[in-house]
Amino acid sequence: MARIQRLSRGFSFSAFFIVIYTVGMTLATTDAGFSPGETDASAESSRYLIGLGSYDITGPAADVNMMGYANPLQNAAGIHIRLRARTFIVAEKNIANSGVGNRVVFVNLDACMASQAVTNKVIERLRNRYGDMYSEKNVAISGTHTHSGPGGYLQYVLYIITSMGFVRQSFNAIVDGIENSIIQAHNNLRPGSLFVNQGDLFDANINRSPSAYLNNPSEERARYPHNVDKEMTLLKFVDSEWGPLGAFNWFAVHGTSMSRDNKLISGDNKGVAARLMEDFYDQQLVEQGDWMVDWSDTTDILSSAIAKSGDGERPEIIHNRVRNLFRSAKGSRFVAAFCQSNVGDTSPNVQGAVCLDTGIACDFNHSTCNGKSELCIGRGPGYPDDFVSTTIIGERQFKKAAQLFDSATELLKGPIGYRHKHIDFSNLEVALSNGAKVHTCPAAVGFSFAAGTTDGPGAFDFKQGDPQGNTFWRIVGGALKPPSKAQINCQKPKPVLIDTGEMLHPYPWAPSILPIQILRVGQMVILSVPAEFTTMAGRRLRDAVKTTLIEEGGGEFGEDVKVVIAGLTNAYSQYVTTYEEYEVQRYEGASTLYGPHTLSGYIQEFKKLAAALARGESVEEGPSPPQLLDKQLELLPPVVVDSTPTGSSFGDVIEDVPANSSFTRGNIVTVKFWSACPRNDLFSESTFALVEYLGKGGNWVPTYDDDDLCLRFMWDRPSLKSPHSHATLRWEIPDTVQPGLYRIRHFGAAKHLFGSVQHFVGTSNTFRVY
């Protein structure tokens, strides 16, 4: 782990490219102890076919409101790191028929959550391509819960208000990326093995609603040493011939290291962790000679890009992102996915919530400061710098995952299986353990929903832990749709602020029908839930499913079965708390849509799925969720035209690096260009920003792009309706940088008044780095 300690402070995969280039692509063997041959994954031990894939889903990097905080002022304006869809497919090897048996697909999105509309469209495309091989039954699509990705891709009204309705560009980028990542994984299917490992990570999450957690029974709390889950569960994928290919892990922590004021697209702490782990293990493969580098055309491409920038063609250089220069002798790059779990009441802001006005801890029960929620803010480990906090929490997850990856020895064995069902949660009959029959309710949010959380507080006079509400806001909420007496009674003790489940115009405001799903690979069982379960809610669900599998499996499942929750999967319906936490009515309870018995309903239905899986029985699919894609309202104005001031052109430098300047490691280099709206071309699997190194023979070598932590792409307009815009590229020179000559380049696309799009390139002065 000493190697990882050094790497995480200044590592960038692209810095390593230069070393390879200058020394003829020959390096000494690493001391990290990583070797594809370390894990026994011979053909004899391979029980499955495995395939991994990864594709860009970044989407529009301007103007679109970010999904998560519901802050109408938090519109995308650049890129911190890119967003990706990462996929694994595991299939049974059917030797007798020389074919393939059952298979499961899991997609991890650097997005706030999954979306029913996205899931519907992806399944439609897979069906058109592969027939019945992939369906909603065996495909799971899960979000990491970053709050710094473009919104507007969900189909229910409540979740697209701040994004000014549906944003088709966001939706298409996610759907396209998921489809391409699944295609990659499908095409990469080869014999291999899976290993599972678990371990505790103690310094990456805290409970942001401890007063609600304390309302759970004391004897139940006594079973657990912490008020959040500290365990990370990791799957290691090993090709029978090529060795380790990737890892997927599940750990519960909110994607809120980046605050509600951030405007750069980011995968937040889990996105950082994935970037660090992928680059680290890719580096190992390069050092061992298992990768090849294609440096062809790196000189001619740059000049041809400029030549073509005026004729409307896309500059060829943007197709050669830094990581794409590497061609794996194994057919695919290392894929690392950091997946979400029972995240509901967790926070990455591990210093706790502090009052901005006094510097003391917030009120314990209500998370207020002098009665105001807005002043109570959680602090990350790098406070007040969001980027530092994001990196620290990401590094901590990466290091634990690398440790589990390198020490994984438990081989997954046994069948692949899955069960899936749709449930109408608006009026589900639930049988409680005491024999009583109760029902869930149509969706509704309570007053504390509007108070927000310590990760992102709300406004006005709302506060968490409010079981009463007030008359003024009750009138305001009732103006939208006054809740019926039956709804008020059903939701108690939640005071209903917005009766979302009974609001159907212009189309439904919240879901009623939701998917639940179980995926099984040997002794690994994944529970796909379309919500954010709190810590204790997740524990109860996991325990209930594990018990059912063991009791109903006829000896097939033992105590070694690993049950993990994949939160925010296949659809989204806000939160699920325990009955006791619901009584407290903090944010999570107020956002538990279907009333106090929501968790009991989930446990009941998941136990049915688990029993069917264990017995080998089928299940009824249940009612289908609505298809609302054709009903969506799209209110975000399009890009009308881009222009530059008279005498300037797109790509011209406004603020350049001084001629003949020099910098050292740790310095920050900033260059500002005349630019155009990034919505004109999303540059998927390419880049808006590039740092190049002058290599031997005068070739400019791409070294860092806008998916590197050290290079930020920041975009702005002088005024809201101005056709002019700027791109500022900020490069913080890493400790690992190769000394030499560098330059910074910006790539963009400008829209003319009559709709044509012109690509352009801008280039800074050359400067030296020592």
Query: For 407-444, how does the pLDDT look when each residue is reduced to its tens digit (9 = 90+)?
Result: 999 999 999 999 999 999 999 999 999 999 999 999 99
Q: Note the pLDDT of residue 333.
A: 86
Residue 317: pLDDT band with limits 50, 70, 90: very low
User: What mean pLDDT do residues 172-176 have?
Assistant: 98
User: What mean pLDDT do residues 300-328 have?
Assistant: 47
Residue 24: pLDDT band with limits 50, 70, 90: very low
Range in 39-48, 130-139, 683-692 with the lowest mean pLDDT: 39-48
Residue 47: pLDDT band with limits 50, 70, 90: confident
pLDDT-above-70 percentage for the chain: 87
Please name which of 76, 177, 306 lies closest in space to residue 684, comparing C-alpha atoms. 177
Q: Note the pLDDT of residue 18.
A: 45
Residue 191: pLDDT band with limits 50, 70, 90: very high
Which DSSP letter does residue 639 get?
A: P
φ, ψ of residue 750 to 5 degrees: the values are: -110, 140
- Answer for the pair 619, 612: CB distance below 8 angstroms, yes or no: yes
Q: Note the pLDDT of residue 475.
A: 85
Number of other residues whose CB lies within 10 A of the CB of residue 735: 13
The pTM of this model reads: 0.93
- Look at 478 and 741; give whichever has higher pLDDT: 741
**Distance from C-alpha of 712 to C-alpha of 148, rounded to nearest angstrom:** 14
Q: Is residue 31 scored above 60 in pLDDT?
A: no
- Answer for the pair 34, 293: CB distance below 8 angstroms, yes or no: no
Range in 108-112, 662-666, 686-690, 697-701 with the lowest mean pLDDT: 697-701
CA distances for 515 relative to 119, 509, 546, 567, angstroms: 10, 17, 20, 12
φ, ψ of residue 309 to 5 degrees: the values are: -65, -15
Range in 1-5, 108-112, 225-229 with the lowest mean pLDDT: 1-5
Residue 100: pLDDT band with limits 50, 70, 90: low
Q: Note the pLDDT of residue 289.
A: 62
Which structure tokens are listed for 447? 């007053």
Angle at 88 between CA 87 and CA 94, to 5 degrees: 145
**Distance from C-alpha of 686 to C-alpha of 706, rounded to nearest angstrom:** 9
Q: Is residue 219 scored above 80 in pLDDT?
A: yes
Q: Note the pLDDT of residue 477.
A: 84
Phi-psi category of residue 491: left, alpha or beta, with phi > 0 → left and psi -120 to 50 → alpha: alpha
Residue 466: pLDDT band with limits 50, 70, 90: confident
Residue 226: pLDDT band with limits 50, 70, 90: very high
Which structure tokens are listed for 227? 């008020």
User: What mean pLDDT do residues 248-276 have?
Assistant: 98
Range in 289-293, 524-528, 529-533, 722-726 with the lowest mean pLDDT: 289-293
Number of other residues whose CB lies within 10 A of the CB of residue 724: 16
Longest dimension (CA), the chain: 80
CA 760 to chain CA centroid, Å, is 31
Residue 681: pLDDT band with limits 50, 70, 90: very high
| Amino acid in position 608 | K
Residue 459: pLDDT band with limits 50, 70, 90: confident
Q: Note the pLDDT of residue 326.
A: 53
pLDDT-above-90 percentage for the chain: 83
Give a three-class secondary structure readout of 476-509: HHHHHCCCCHHHHHHHCCCCEEECHHHCCCCCCC
- Answer for the pair 163, 59: CB distance below 8 angstroms, yes or no: no
What average pLDDT does the chain have?
A: 90
Residue 46: pLDDT band with limits 50, 70, 90: confident
User: What mean pLDDT do residues 545-573 have?
Assistant: 97
- Binding residue numbers for Zn(2+): 145, 254, 532, 575
Residue 9: pLDDT band with limits 50, 70, 90: very low
Range in 27-41, 244-258, 451-465, 658-672 with the lowest mean pLDDT: 27-41
Q: Which of 115, 332, 347, 675 is catalytic?
A: 347
User: What mean pLDDT do residues 749-763 have?
Assistant: 95
Give a three-class secondary structure readout of 434-481: CCCEEECCCCCEEHHHHHECCCCECCCCCCCCCCCCCHHHHHHHHHHC
Give me the sign of the Cα torsion angle 42, 38, 249, 31. negative
Q: Note the pLDDT of residue 471.
A: 82
347 part of the active site: yes
The per-residue DSSP string of 368-428 comes to: -BTTBGGGEEEE-TTTT-HHHHHHHHHHHHHHHHHHHHHH--EE--S-EEEEEEEEETTS-
- Answer for the pair 198, 104: CB distance below 8 angstroms, yes or no: no
Give SS3 for 237.
Answer: strand
**Distance from C-alpha of 152 to C-alpha of 636, rounded to nearest angstrom:** 10
Q: Note the pLDDT of residue 285.
A: 74
Residue 367: pLDDT band with limits 50, 70, 90: very high
Q: Is residue 310 scored above 50 in pLDDT?
A: no
- Binding residue numbers: 145, 254, 532, 575
Which residues have CB under 8 Å from 677's CB, separation 6+? 62, 63, 639, 642, 715, 725, 751
Q: Note the pLDDT of residue 467.
A: 85
Q: Note the pLDDT of residue 19.
A: 40
**Distance from C-alpha of 499 to C-alpha of 481, rounded to nearest angstrom:** 6
- Answer for the pair 759, 688: CB distance below 8 angstroms, yes or no: no
Residue 325: pLDDT band with limits 50, 70, 90: low
Please name which of 605, 464, 547, 568 lies closest in space to residue 252, comparing C-alpha atoms. 568
User: What mean pLDDT do residues 764-770 have?
Assistant: 98
